[in-house]
Amino acid sequence: MTDTICAASNCDHPSGDGFICGDTLRELEQYLAETPWLVFELENAMTKRTRFAEQDTIAAKGAEQPLILNPEAMAAIASLAHTLLSWQANLADSLGQPVRYPKPAQSTAWLMSNLQAVRTFIAAGDMYDEVRSAFRFGRNLIDRPTERRYLGDCRSDLNDVYCPEPLWGRDNEATATCRACGTVYDQPARLILIREQAVTGLNDRIMTASEAAGVLVAYNLTDGADEIRMTDRIRKWAAQPKDPSKHPKLEKRTDLRMVGERSRPGYKFGDIVAILNRTA
């Protein structure tokens, strides 16, 4: 068997005394070792605790609201779990062991404890290929590129002519450069400016909790909280404390009635922003 080539589809090294080479086996071991972490991150993404929506798509008024569950993350978890459980069963059968661990973390732990058996398993190349594919599919969902964020129009003064180009920045970058005129801006300072402009004229508006949350999310004023979490936070601020002598943080201004809907409490948007600033 010393003259055979590694059975992994992306490797042409000699396989030595197994069906896959030592480098491929070590790479497979790394995928297995990182699987519990990947499943945890995908579960966060699945329940929208991690948001991957592009900022310019959620900022548009009337844009479709995100699903409560992320279907891509759900598919990645299902694919990873199915792949691991299937290969665990195949290897266990070849060893004559009645092993069927139902969870990905358990099946990966068992596979890692039987790596030498994996190397001499006749289908080791297919196992590596499928685990690698399922792992990378999930990992690509976690390692999304940094998101674009809108920073207002450039408005740089070019010989008494203002540049009308929209200015875009990216998360974790210190500066933003206008694509049209090349003017470079300090991104944190520009972000503060656009947020201040966003709430100008809105302070006296009366909104429901969900309406206010939508505005806050659209203008990146929530420190990462999505619309559902922000709505829940606003309602908690307006809830009566257990101590009847105390007052809620947020005062209800009036009841708002939508067409075909029951009345809902309305709050002054400026009050919500003030509480948000204090808690921040």
Grade residue 50 by pLDDT with cuts at 50, 70 and 90. Answer: very low
pLDDT digits (tens, 9 = 90+) for 53-105: 433 333 333 444 444 557 788 888 999 999 999 999 999 999 998 888 888 88
Contact (CB, 8 A) for 39 and 104: yes
Angle at 149 (CA atoms; ends 144, 155), nearest 5 degrees: 150
For residues 2 and 74, give the distance between their C-alpha atoms in angstroms, rounded to a whole number. 42
Q: Looking at residue 144, what is its pLDDT?
A: 58
Q: Looking at residue 61, what is its pLDDT?
A: 37
Grade residue 118 by pLDDT with cuts at 50, 70 and 90. Answer: very high
Residues in the chain: 280
pLDDT digits (tens, 9 = 90+) for 248-264: 999 988 877 654 556 78
Report the largest interatomic distance among the alpha carbons of the chain, rounded to a whole angstrom.
84
Residue ranges per domain, the chain?
22-142, 147-200, 201-280
For residues 273 and 280, give the distance between their C-alpha atoms in angstroms, rounded to a whole number. 10
For residues 215 and 59, give the distance between their C-alpha atoms in angstroms, rounded to a whole number. 8
Q: Looking at residue 83, what is its pLDDT?
A: 93
Does residue 3 surpass a pLDDT of 80?
no
For residues 104 and 85, give the distance between their C-alpha atoms in angstroms, rounded to a whole number. 7
pLDDT digits (tens, 9 = 90+) for 168-190: 787 667 888 888 788 899 988 88
Contact (CB, 8 A) for 134 and 80: yes
Q: Looking at residue 1, what is its pLDDT?
A: 43
Of 11-25, 33-47, 114-128, which gets the smallest average pLDDT?
Answer: 33-47
Can you say whether the dihedral through the CA atoms of 102, 103, 106, 110 is positive or negative?
positive
Grade residue 146 by pLDDT with cuts at 50, 70 and 90. Answer: low
* Cβ neighbours around 21 below 10 Å, total: 21
């809105």: which residue's tokens? Answer: 202
Q: Looking at residue 200, what is its pLDDT?
A: 66
Residue ranges with strand state E in 33-76: none
Q: Is the pTM of this model over 0.75?
A: no
Amino acid at 45: A
Specify the DSSP element, H or E, that contains 226: none
Shortest CA distance to 119 belongs to which of 3, 10, 28?
A: 28
